[in-house]
Chains A and B, each alone.
Chain A
Amino acid sequence: MEITVVQALGHATVGVVRELGRTGWFLLYSFYMIVRRPGSPLYVLKQIRFIGAKSLFVIVLTAGFTGMVLGLQGYYTLAKFGSEGMLGTAVALSLIRELGPVLAALMVTGRAGSAITAEIGIMRISEQIDALETMALDPFKYLVTPKIIAAMISLPLLCAIFDVVGIYGGWLVGVKLLGVNPGAYFYEMEKSVVWRDVYSGFLKSFSFGVIIAWIGCYKGYYAGHGAEGVSKATTESVVLTSVLILIWDYFLTSVLL
């Protein structure tokens, strides 16, 4: 009985190590392909349209309401200390340093990350990936590297849009509804936000872009059999990407602070 438990534990450990190795290899090989054979810019542009442009609506919507909530919460907290004039700073720093990159990445994970997994997973189970291989073509060149490059470009841009829309969401609530001085809102913001804040936000969203495309492609590429396999891969992709984004965010924040 004890041996069985040890065997099961060993088996599970080997499984986890193997999966980690395969996931790491997938990312390394993707970067190798980006450097050696990045593929047609047309594929990258198509993916920028899909990951970036088509996520715009959900990003603007989320950013607007996030900024409005920050305006509302920030106002009532700061009013307790008589510092309503600092609302612009509070909203901007929260968005630029933290909420912009993280929420934009989580939104893109839900919209594009899941679709990437489903698309590649369906290509896997319908033998389209095998078809590429039989043509002596590397599937990474067509399916993986364009998505990773596109996500690395799109996420910082979406994050910038998220930040700007969020700041105006906070302005709408703070200035227009709650009567914060409009000059103070932007003046305090301009005084407090430094290049390092913006830079760290962009660095985060850049790396989140890599995580979204990497895990999305990986889970699809190794999807199991049939519709159930693709469905399972899609769920795992969204959950794993979201968790990795939050963990990686903590590490990056602790390094960049």
Chain B
Amino acid sequence: MITLRNLHKSFGSQKVLNGLNLEIPDRKITAVIGPSGEGKSVLLKHLIGLMQPDSGEVEVDGESILGLRHSQLNRIREKFGMLFQNVALFDSMTVFENVAFPLQEKTDLPADEIRRRVFSALEDVGLKNIEKKFPDELSGGMKKRVGLARAVVLKPDIILFDEPTTGLDPITKRAIHQLIRNTHAKFGFTAVIVSHDIPEIFDVAQNVAMLFRGEILQHGTPEEIINSDHPAVRQFITGSLDGPIQMN
């Protein structure tokens, strides 16, 4: 379980997280939705210690991750995998090297076993015969798949997805969502997906939390969010221009 308590974060005078509270249950897919620029990615980076809050608490499996020494934080980070918005594949490495990298650096597995696991992870995400390609030779959808393969290859307990379908066409988008569902069903990790893909995300997530003005407005099952009476939640789901969410 990941627990966020009264989280505050500002950049200069801009308040991004404003007393945010959220509980992310184990082994389920939780989606954090909300308008662009509301701090969804910032929230995600707090979960893994890439950003420190101004105040508040972040707990992973009952252990606070704030104020930890680097080695202690790394011990917690070993539970995580992450798929970045821009995938963040190492551009000087081939696809094989990218997926093999965490295994080479974090395990003592022999080269044959690493090879087997890399090919297995790539197969799980539906990729074949691209091991020797470099990231800039791949399409957006393929990069996302390679990023997912790299994120799952160490079989982490928690995987964070930062807008995994941004910039993809509708078919690839659906394929990536299906892939997340399938890999989740296979490995059973806790997933946190930051997204503004409405309504597709409701088919993927088991929990949905709506972030607006630095707070979680509503948290519940997809059905509860879809049927919400909250004006901001309703406006976001329907994509209406009229309502509390103003485009500035």
Contacts and interface: CB of A to CB of B under 8 A. Distances in A.
Contacts of A127: 84-86, 88
Interface stretch (B18-26, B75-83, B170-178, B227-235): B75-83
Given A128-B90, A128-B91, A133 B50 contact: yes
Interface residues on A, range: 10 to 19
Interface stretch (A13-21, A134-142, A156-164, A237-245): A134-142
B84 A137 contact: no
Contacts, number: 45
A190 interface: no
B199 interface: no
Given A135-B102, A135-B106, A136-B106, A130 B77 contact: no
Contacts of A137: 105-106
A76 to B, nearest CB: 50
A126 interface: yes
B50 to A, nearest CB: 6
Contact of A131 (B75, B78, B84): B84
A137 B104 CA distance: 12
Contacts of B102: 135
Contact of A126 (B45, B78, B86, B101): B86
A134 B50 contact: yes
Given A133-B50, A134-B82, A126 B88 contact: yes
Contacts of A135: 77, 101-102, 105-106
B90 A131 contact: yes
Contacts of B91: 122, 126, 128
A137 B71 CA distance: 10
A130 B50 contact: yes
A128 B75 CA distance: 20
Residue from the set A122, A135, A137 with the largest chain B CB neighbour count within 10 Å: A135
B36 interface: no
Residue from the set A122, A127, A130, A138 with the largest chain B CB neighbour count within 10 Å: A127
Contacts of A133: 50, 77
Contacts of B80: 134
Nearest to B50: A130
B86 A136 contact: no
Nearest to A133: B50
A154 to B, nearest CB: 19
B149 interface: no
Nearest to A142: B105
Contacts of B86: 126-127
A123 B88 CA distance: 8
Contacts of B75: 136
Nearest to A128: B88
A131 B77 contact: no
A224 B81 CA distance: 25
B74 A136 contact: yes
Nearest to B80: A134
A14 B86 CA distance: 35
B48 interface: yes
Contacts of B88: 126-128, 130-131
A71 to B, nearest CB: 42
A122 B90 CA distance: 11
A128 B85 CA distance: 11
B77 A134 contact: yes
Interface string B91-115: 1000000000110011000000000
Given A127-B85, A137-B106, 14 more contacts: A126-B88, A126-B91, A128-B89, A130-B50, A130-B84, A131-B82, A133-B50, A133-B77, A134-B77, A134-B80, A135-B102, A135-B105, A136-B106, A138-B70
10 contacts: A126-B86, A127-B84, A128-B90, A130-B45, A130-B88, A133-B77, A134-B82, A135-B105, A136-B77, A138-B70
